[in-house]
Structure 1
Amino acid sequence: MDSEKPLPVRQLFLICAVRFAEPISFSIHVPFIYFMVRDFHVGKDTDIGYYVSLITSAFAISQLASAMPIGMISDRIGRRPVVLLGLAVGIISSISFGLSKTYAWALCTKILSGLLDNNIAVLKSMVSELSMGYSETQRARAFSMLQVVFGLGGIVGASLGGYLSEPVRKYPAVFGRGGPITDFLTEFPYFLPCFVASCIATVGWIAGFLLLEETLIRKKESLISQQEDEEGGEEERLLTEEAESGYQTFGANNDQSNLDPKPSSASFRDALTPAVIAVCVTYGLAAYQNVFYDELFPTWSATDRDTGGLGLNSNEIGTALSFAGMVTLFVQFFMYHRLTGWLGTVRLFRASLLLSIFVFGLQGCVRYLHSGDDDGKWLLFAGLLLSIGLKTLCQTVAMTGSIILVNNAAPRMDALGAINAFSQCCSSAMRALGPASSGYIYSSTIAAVWLPFVIRAHLSWILLGCVAAVTFVVSMQLNPAKYLSRRKE
């Protein structure tokens, strides 16, 4: 039985090793970005949230622009070279971001990273190709691994960004002894975490270069084998000869007409069925509320209490984000596949979106757990960890479910990379809109002194709860029959 067949764990592990670098690169700046932008002196303190959101939005807009071309290129030349190129660019951009001395430089490095280090859709396609023909629970496990490394990367990235930024000030006994290293880290206080992140990504690139296999060719071999089973006699022999000939010319004469058919724009349009479009729209909305929260949380946490925030420092923000990463790991390792087997992918997806409404709407109430004295700060932090833990539970389930539903809905395997790229475009569009709207809404509300303080302190979170409500309503329109996992006969 398919359910008893083991997953290709080795290749899934290598894909996850490559995937591990991106959440580190994306999250490493979160604990210190508020302070980094503040040090650039680009505007008033009340405008910092706006400038912070522009950096994240620029990254997402760049991903939006490059997602479709990269996905369709991977359908033609293969997944592996595209992934390795993107990871190499990510290494360079991470180091460059750490060397930022101006706001414009930091913005440009994020744009470069978004344009070329855009492997998410390609890696989803690789996991889908490796897990095709397995049970729904096994596919859930396979896709959960991507989210596991995303959570682990979030832990590492947030920890590095929170604890290694401004090392001369934080650790004078180690980095404050004078000399060229002290001078360098004083001039570039946010370089150290970015450098460590690039070293981790380099290890992933080397592992991918040496051991990662091309899943696009693997899938085509599987399709040829399936055709051989369905066709008999002379047709089977002819197909076998053609397949062998195709693989010989792939290595010798570079004639890939039989092996690697290039999907036309018409075939891609055919692959964008109503079921694919519907789940991609829902995925985009889920991504919007997720990135809105992720952008709002560090700015809100770092903002002074008398302005409506929590008044936390970068270490405390990094600890909270690291805890969120650990929750992601726990959910993916121990909960998601079991919940999928119990409720099914669609119902579990909807349940997570429903719970998100209440989690977002009540997030702002955490600040009432602290009256301002240091003795009671532990209660504030406990409430903060509880709220971010619930948010992480909901969003981990929602984002993993979205990825599985997109791949289950794909009617054509020869356009899987393009379909995942289309879903990534929907996600990237919302990830661009999310930070911009989050920063604008938060900066506008805390500066609107004509509003009562209690409204200014909660309005951003209430609006996010409304977005979650809309996302849940849209998810109720999905037809579960259109999103069943594909099984080999």
Structure 2
Amino acid sequence: MTATSVSESVQATETKQTPLPKWQLLIVFLVQLAEPITATVIFPFAPEFIRRTGITGGDETKTGYYAGFIESAFFIAESLSVFYWGRLSDRFGRKPILLLGPLGLTFAMLGFGMSTNFWSLVLFRCAQGVFNGNIGVSKTVMAELTDSTNIGEAFALMPIVWGAGVTLGPVMGGLLVHPADTWPNTFGRIALFRDHPYFLPCAVAGLFSFAICLLTLVVLQETHPATIARKKSKCSRPTQETCLIANNTGADYGSTNTAAVASDDAVSDSIPSQPPSMREVLGTQFLRVLMNYTFISFVETAYDALMPLMYSTSIPVGGLGFSPFQIGQILSVWGLTNAIVQCLFTGRLLRAFGARRMFIISLGFMFVAMLAFSFESYFARLAGRVDGRVITLLLIQLTCNLMTFVAFASIHVLIVQSATSRAALGSTNGVTQMAGSGIRSLAPYFASSMFSISLESQIAGGFLVYIIILVLCLFSLWLSFKIPKRFKSADT
């Protein structure tokens, strides 16, 4: 794709939109679906699981420290691996690297569910982080399957995938936890489920990832230009007839349409076989977008860490006293609503207002969602129960949080637009994911620890953690105005 000066609006006004390669994108989205499912399946029962290991010594207020440690370990592992997944995909192709993600997640989830002590939970959560690290490769595949006329439409679908994942994950976690107690006549007769009450939801999530791995192996086509060119170049060496046969097997998925063998050598020569250097990857406009991505990642991850903690903590201590089943219900209903909303409105909002403007607007809604925590805690303690005021605040909070996914759809479009070149997309997404995962490794432990400190010491009435995150939300909002309104040409 030859990029011209890119305006705020995602919509191409004079160029006819290229149809999306639906089947190939569907496979990529299924790979992406494995991440939110495996990440969120533990949310309803993670605090209870941690307490069950005995690491807290029976002190409920200390749960936040250890919950934050587990989530931080996840993102540290992801941040240490994500850039190398991108570099490996630039060298060996997208498909083989992409396959390793869901395959590794299968074994990581099984190990997590079988854990009996805190440190084994940390180990397998780290493994999940490593294999989730290749999510950047899937975004690169999306960019290579699309062009300037339909990339916004494709990336607008990502929140729908995430919404589906955060719906299915908590449903699995909330409904399948403690199966021996829920279904004593079936699972209750199996010692495995009596001894490991958290294994079943983890196993279901793991097997789902394995099924996605098999489907990807069979259906997904390679998209890396250099890898495709090398294969075609090797194919054309024996005879032109052999190459013509190879080039015409399979469907045209809309990303590349090659009709002549003679053009293959030219394509091979024009595409670098080696991954671009870091100097080629980094640029001023990309760094500005990258800074925004890191800050929104911190705020969003802090919110995700605080939600199950605050919801599961007893009302007198400063939470809402919800059970794992109730938390799973809340998250699953919200996730389903989110998927519907994103499907109907995200693409239209991006086309109508542009990625930059929608990113800024979404941050404002995220501020309101974070603000709701403190008022929920205050009114719940005041009433001694979850009353109508708290329920109203929950509805406002969850509604505002829908815009989080619009924000991420917007920033992903901006990341692609700010890339220094198409050849650097793998490394660009690798750097982005590395930075996002790095900051996410700090957010859970910071937010969870501050949650525990705030409650233990009753600093600012127990609301200190919310005040700090709200200040960071405001800073993120200010930083979003530094994103360029127009990006310079990526390739000429």
Q: TM-score, normalised by structure 2?
A: 0.85
**What are the superposed Cα offsets for residues 141-199 of structure 1, whole Å, 9 maximum, x if unpaired?**
201222211110110001111111112223335433x3xx1x21111110000111112
Q: CA deviation at 1:369?
A: 5.1
**What are the superposed Cα offsets for residues 303-326 of structure 1, whole Å, 9 maximum, x if unpaired?**
111111111100111112113312
Query: Against the structure 1 CA distance between its residues 282 and 448, is the aligned structure 2 distance closer, same or farther, given a 3 Å change threshold?
Result: same
Residue correspondence of structure 1 range 211-226 to structure 2 within 5 A:
211-217=219-225
- Aligned partner of 1:211: which letter? V
- Aligned partner of 2:406: which letter? V
Counterpart pick for 1:199 among 188, 204, 207: 207
- Aligned partner of 2:403: which letter? C
Query: Against the structure 1 CA distance between its residues 3 and 318, is the aligned structure 2 distance closer, same or farther, given a 3 Å change threshold?
Result: farther
Q: CA deviation at 1:339?
A: 1.2
C-alpha contact (below 8 Å) 1:369/1:383 kept by paired residues: no
C-alpha contact (below 8 Å) 2:226/2:273 kept by paired residues: no
Q: CA deviation at 1:373?
A: 6.7
Q: Unaligned stretches of 5+ in structure 1?
A: 225-239, 248-255
Instruction: Give distance in 2, aligned partners of 1:245 and 1:141.
Output: 32
**What are the superposed Cα offsets for residues 233-265 of structure 1, whole Å, 9 maximum, x if unpaired?**
xxxxxxx77753589xxxxxxxx8876510242
Query: Against the structure 1 CA distance between its residues 196 and 288, is the aligned structure 2 distance closer, same or farther, given a 3 Å change threshold?
Result: same
1:22 and 2:43 aligned: no
C-alpha contact (below 8 Å) 2:375/2:393 kept by paired residues: no
1:244 and 2:264 aligned: yes
C-alpha contact (below 8 Å) 1:324/1:388 kept by paired residues: yes
Instruction: Give distance in 1, aligned partners of 2:270 and 2:69.
Output: 46
Instruction: Give distance in 2, aligned partners of 1:274 and 1:122.
Output: 23
1:126 equivalent in structure 2: 141
Counterpart pick for 1:327 among 302, 322, 337: 337
**What are the superposed Cα offsets for residues 389-448 of structure 1, whole Å, 9 maximum, x if unpaired?**
212x22111111111100110121111111001111111011101001011100111110
1:170 equivalent in structure 2: 182
C-alpha contact (below 8 Å) 1:276/1:410 kept by paired residues: yes
Q: CA deviation at 1:463?
A: 1.7
- Aligned partner of 1:329: which letter? A
Residue correspondence of structure 1 range 373-384 to structure 2 within 5 A:
377=387, 380-384=390-394
Instruction: Give distance in 2, aligned partners of 1:358 and 1:97.
Output: 34
The number of equivalent residue pairs is 447
C-alpha contact (below 8 Å) 1:76/1:262 kept by paired residues: yes
Instruction: Give distance in 2, aligned partners of 1:301 and 1:241.
Output: 61
Residue correspondence of structure 1 range 17-416 to structure 2 within 5 A:
17-43=30-56, 44-134=59-149, 138-176=150-188, 178=189, 181=190, 183-217=191-225, 243-245=263-265, 261-265=273-277, 268-368=278-378, 370=380, 377=387, 380-391=390-401, 393-416=402-425
3-state SS of 2:479 partner: helix
C-alpha contact (below 8 Å) 2:79/2:133 kept by paired residues: no
Q: CA deviation at 1:117?
A: 3.5
Instruction: Give distance in 2, aligned partners of 1:75 and 1:463.
Output: 39
1:480 and 2:485 aligned: yes
**What are the superposed Cα offsets for residues 15-56 of structure 1, whole Å, 9 maximum, x if unpaired?**
111111111101111110000000011123221111011111
Query: Against the structure 1 CA distance between its residues 219 and 286, is the aligned structure 2 distance closer, same or farther, given a 3 Å change threshold?
Result: farther
Instruction: Give distance in 2, aligned partners of 1:339 and 1:368.
Output: 35
C-alpha contact (below 8 Å) 2:222/2:228 kept by paired residues: no
Instruction: Give distance in 2, aligned partners of 1:314 and 1:483.
Output: 49
- Aligned partner of 1:433: which letter? L
C-alpha contact (below 8 Å) 1:369/1:380 kept by paired residues: yes
Identical-residue share of aligned pairs (%): 26
Judge which range, 210-219 or 364-373, deviates more. Answer: 364-373
**What are the superposed Cα offsets for residues 61-119 of structure 1, whole Å, 9 maximum, x if unpaired?**
01111111110110111111001012110111011110010111111111122223322
- Aligned partner of 2:341: which letter? V
Query: Against the structure 1 CA distance between its residues 195 and 483, is the aligned structure 2 distance closer, same or farther, given a 3 Å change threshold?
Result: farther
1:423 and 2:432 aligned: yes
- Aligned partner of 1:385: which letter? L
Query: Against the structure 1 CA distance between its residues 173 and 483, is the aligned structure 2 distance closer, same or farther, given a 3 Å change threshold?
Result: farther
Instruction: Give distance in 1, aligned partners of 2:358 and 2:71.
Output: 29
Instruction: Give distance in 1, aligned partners of 2:323 and 2:307.
Output: 13
Instruction: Give distance in 1, aligned partners of 2:388 and 2:137.
Output: 43
3-state SS of 2:316 partner: helix
1:12 and 2:25 aligned: yes
- Aligned partner of 1:275: which letter? Q
2:245 equivalent in structure 1: none
Query: Against the structure 1 CA distance between its residues 314 and 165, is the aligned structure 2 distance closer, same or farther, given a 3 Å change threshold?
Result: same
C-alpha contact (below 8 Å) 1:243/1:259 kept by paired residues: no
Q: CA deviation at 1:372?
A: 5.2
3-state SS of 2:169 partner: helix
C-alpha contact (below 8 Å) 2:18/2:147 kept by paired residues: no
Query: Against the structure 1 CA distance between its residues 336 and 40, is the aligned structure 2 distance closer, same or farther, given a 3 Å change threshold?
Result: same
1:442 equivalent in structure 2: 451
- Aligned partner of 2:435: which letter? C
Q: TM-score, normalised by structure 1?
A: 0.86
C-alpha contact (below 8 Å) 1:295/1:439 kept by paired residues: yes
Q: CA deviation at 1:295?
A: 0.3
Structure having the higher helix fraction is: 1
Query: Against the structure 1 CA distance between its residues 347 and 264, is the aligned structure 2 distance closer, same or farther, given a 3 Å change threshold?
Result: closer
C-alpha contact (below 8 Å) 2:82/2:133 kept by paired residues: yes
3-state SS of 2:463 partner: helix
C-alpha contact (below 8 Å) 1:140/1:336 kept by paired residues: no
Query: Against the structure 1 CA distance between its residues 372 and 362, is the aligned structure 2 distance closer, same or farther, given a 3 Å change threshold?
Result: closer
Query: Against the structure 1 CA distance between its residues 94 and 407, is the aligned structure 2 distance closer, same or farther, given a 3 Å change threshold?
Result: same
Instruction: Give distance in 1, aligned partners of 2:461 and 2:104.
Output: 41
Instruction: Give distance in 1, aligned partners of 2:355 and 2:144.
Output: 19
Query: Against the structure 1 CA distance between its residues 378 and 175, is the aligned structure 2 distance closer, same or farther, given a 3 Å change threshold?
Result: farther
- Aligned partner of 1:427: which letter? G
Query: Against the structure 1 CA distance between its residues 194 and 46, is the aligned structure 2 distance closer, same or farther, given a 3 Å change threshold?
Result: same
